[in-house]
């Protein structure tokens, strides 16, 4: 049985994330989506909220599990016994950072491979931080995030100090 994980902040999950999750789940028997619960990073949504925002988009997907962690990615990878770590890449700018991260993780945990999955061209420009900012200024973000995320973003009083 091959197991993979897709780690990230997902604050909030975008259609770009959802697309990577859907495609990865087809490649492996089990996919863990691991939401970073990092107290040092200020997030708009709590880890539990982010888990629910992702889960609600994958109700009928038996091989997808969504959970949070608050340590090193390699530690949770070891704990879950995954073979592969998936990372989505949008552009060259992402690649430099992602490549270094993959090198570091390989040193820390040689048994786990990193797979870079290029974004779907439709979602090339989607970035959680930019979407929160657009939402705070009242822009229409309904084509950038799943409907449940669009709802939550609009319900929440998103002001610039929250970002
Ligand atoms: P962000 O970079 O938007 O703050 P995360 O830390 O939540 O995102 O990213 C988790 C993973 O998802 C990373 O591998 C990131 O490169 C990838 N990702 C983020 N947005 C997209 C997108 N639009 N298309 C493909 N992958 C993405």
In this prediction, residue 91 carries a pLDDT of 85
What is the number of the ligand 1 atom nearest to the C-alpha of 128? 3
Pocket-testing residue among 10, 12, 20, ligand 1, by greatest number of atoms within 8 A of Cβ: 20
In this prediction, residue 158 carries a pLDDT of 54
d(CA 90, ligand 1 centre) in Å = 8
Q: What is the pLDDT along the chain (163 residues), one digit of tens a residue?
A: 999 999 999 999 999 999 999 999 999 999 999 999 987 788 999 999 999 999 999 999 999 999 999 999 999 999 999 999 999 999 888 899 999 999 999 999 999 999 999 999 999 888 999 999 899 888 999 999 999 999 999 887 555 555 5
CA-nearest residue for atom 18, ligand 1, is 88
What is the number of the ligand 1 atom nearest to the C-alpha of 11? 7
d(CA 149, ligand 1 centre) in Å = 15
Tell me the DSSP string of the chain. --EEEEEE--SS--HHHHHHHHHHHHHSSEEEEEEE--TTS--SS-HHHHHHHHHTT-TT-TTEEEEEE-S-HHHHHHHHT-SEEEEEE-SHHHHHHHHHHHHHHHHH-TT-EEEEEEPPGGGTT--HHHHHHHHHTT---TTTS-HHHHHHHHHS---GGG-
Determine if the pTM surpasses 0.75: yes
d(CA 15, ligand 1 centre) in Å = 10
In this prediction, residue 146 carries a pLDDT of 97
What is the number of the ligand 1 atom nearest to the C-alpha of 86? 14
The C-alpha torsion from 138 through 45 and 108 to 24, rounded to 10°, is -70
């Amino acid at each position: 049985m091959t197991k993979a994980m897709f780690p990230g902040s997902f604050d909030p999950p975008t259609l770009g994330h959802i697309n990577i999750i859907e495609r990865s789940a087809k490649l492996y028997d089990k996919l863990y989506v691991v939401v970073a619960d990092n107290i040092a990073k200020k997030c708009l949504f709590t880890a539990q909220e982010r888990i629910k925002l992702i889960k609600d988009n994958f109700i009928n997907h038996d091989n997808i599990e969504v959970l949070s962690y608050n340590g090193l990615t390699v530690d949770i990878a070891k704990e879950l016994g995954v073979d592969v770590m998936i990372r989505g890449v949008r552009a060259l700018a992402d690649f430099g950072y992602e490549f270094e991260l993959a090198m570091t993780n390989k040193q820390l945990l040689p048994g786990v491979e990193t797979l870079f999955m290029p974004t779907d061209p439709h979602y090339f420009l989607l970035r959680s931080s930019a979407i929160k900012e657009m939402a705070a200024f009242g822009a229409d973000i309904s084509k950038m995030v799943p409907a449940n995320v669009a709802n939550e973003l609009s319900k929440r009083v998103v002001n610039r100090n929250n970002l």
